[in-house]
Structure 1
Amino acid sequence: MAMNTLKDIYLDQLQDLWSANTQSLPVVTELGRAATDKELSEALIAGGNGISDGIAALEKLCADHGIAPNAEHCKGMEGLVKEARAHGLSDDISDPDVRDAAIIPQYQRMVHYALAGYGTLVAFANRLGLDGDAAVLQQCLDQTYGGDRHMTAIAMQGGVNKDAVA
């Protein structure tokens, strides 16, 4: 697709974020199964549910604009997924508390990619006068921010990092 207008970039970014979400979902599920801290595991399951909701929303927006969601492959998320598997699911981590502490930054790196994507898409949709799109994307952005804040709270106030020190 030629990138001649903001709308062209908007549509391309919808597809990129769909690709990012579809790539991150399986590893978030794996991280959730690997986590031993109950609160962390539950947060990752909720994060996976949020990613699934985002995928569905992006699929609908793509369909509304007459484009296939899978026309892009997000290389950025591909790298983040590899890092999450290498550093959050590594066999080199034998202590489950240390693994839990390692999972959090890997998850948050993927989430921060989604935050940037949703935030940009909200701005583009608003500028293009796509109020319905903007509302859907803002809801996805808000949900993603909520998950990120919850993960930060687990790291800072929960027992995960404290347990990993011992």
Structure 2
Amino acid sequence: MNGLKDLYLDQLQDIYSACKQSRDITIELEKAATDAELKEALHAGHKGISDGMDMLRGLIEGHGKDPGGEHCKGMEGLVAEARAHALEEDFGDDATRDAMIVTQYQRMAHYAIAGYGCVKAFAKRLELPDEAQKIDTHLSHTYDGDERMTEIATSGINGDARAA
């Protein structure tokens, strides 16, 4: 790494990898979820992640780099946790599994929020305002998805799991 631009491109590739991994597990989480509102939110989530990947691909390729040039070990760990705790774990009832699905999805979303926030700051410092705006749009969507999951959990799933 020879400066902020190298760091910026490296982290764009890292987030691209993170998105690819989280999109795939989000599809699996959607299939495992039983709450209709949760299933809908997860569907919107993997659509949003795909849109983010398209944006990231464009930014990375615009700088002459390969979007697949990195493998995000951080998201790899979060995906392994989501698989182990939300998909492979035995649950006594669907609401408890759904609560765990929300938990695991939000952990991945928070990772994405941190990554998008960093590269947005790098883009601003590098005087790439159009790129910073594109990143900010997806950062905002990720925040919105996280807030929606909190609403779903607190308005029903967590109470249903508690009653089980």
**Bin of the TM-score, shorter chain as denominator length:** over 0.9
Aligned to 1:95: 93
Residue 19 (1) aligns with residue 25 (2): no
Correspondence for 2:160 among 157, 163, 166: 163
Correspondence for 1:118 among 104, 116, 119: 116
Q: Deviations over 1:43-62 (max 9, x none)?
A: 01001011000110000001
What is the distance in 1 between the residues matched to 2:153 and 2:91? 18
Correspondence for 2:35 among 34, 37, 50: 37
What is the distance in 2 between the residues matched to 1:75 and 1:93? 28
User: Normalization by structure 2: what TM-score?
Assistant: 0.97
Aligned to 2:148: 150
Matches within 5 A, 1:74-85: 74-85=72-83
Task: Letter of the 2:78 partner, please give it.
Answer: L
TM-superposed deviation, 1:91: 4.2
Aligned-residue CA RMSD (Å): 0.8
Task: Letter of the 1:162 partner, please give it.
Answer: G
User: Normalization by structure 1: what TM-score?
Assistant: 0.96
Aligned to 2:64: 66
Unaligned ranges ≥5, structure 1: none
Identity across matched positions, percent: 58
Runs of 4+ in 1 over 2 A off after TM superposition: none
